[in-house]
Amino acid sequence: MLSLCCVKLIEDKTMKTILYILFAAIMMAGCNNSKATKYFDSVDATRFAEVIENEKVQIIDTRTPAEFNEGHIPGAVNIDIDGEEFAAKIAELDKSRPVAVYCRGGRRSKEAAEHMVSCGLEVTELADGILSWKGAVEK
């Protein structure tokens, strides 16, 4: 009886060790995912202005439609990060063209940029949002 308990205890410890090693290996393999190592550039308004001079850049405003209508960077397309269609609209963006993204103060655009990078887009984000923008604004 005692030997049966010892065998069971050893089997449980062995199984736990095997499961732990397997779990660790899976987690480490996930760390090598190339998408996980991609980042976006978060830049000031001066650098952002330089980035959007490139005609190929897709300019995305992640604010609400009401905020967008109050004034936006010329050429920007409104994709509200809180809108139901956000993920679908991001998926429709041209992956061969870079993206410049902004919001009001920088929080929403950072969240959007993370999502865009995970979709395979090259992204530059306006760090402090349109509040820091010194360039032209369209209404």
pLDDT in tens, 101-121: 999 999 999 999 999 999 999
Is 137 inside any structural domain? no
Q: Residue 37: its pLDDT value, please?
A: 54
Matching residue, tokens 């991001």: 90
Catalytic residues: 103
pLDDT in tens, 71-101: 999 999 999 999 999 999 999 999 999 999 9
Is 94 inside any structural domain? yes
Q: Residue 8: its pLDDT value, please?
A: 56
pTM for this entry: 0.74
Name the residue among 131, 126, 57, 67 with its Cα closest to residue 94: 57
Q: Residue 38: its pLDDT value, please?
A: 76
Is 11 inside any structural domain? yes
pLDDT band of 70, cuts 50, 70, 90? very high
CA torsion sign for 20, 25, 31, 33 is negative
Is 87 inside any structural domain? yes
* Containing structural domain, residue 14: 2-32
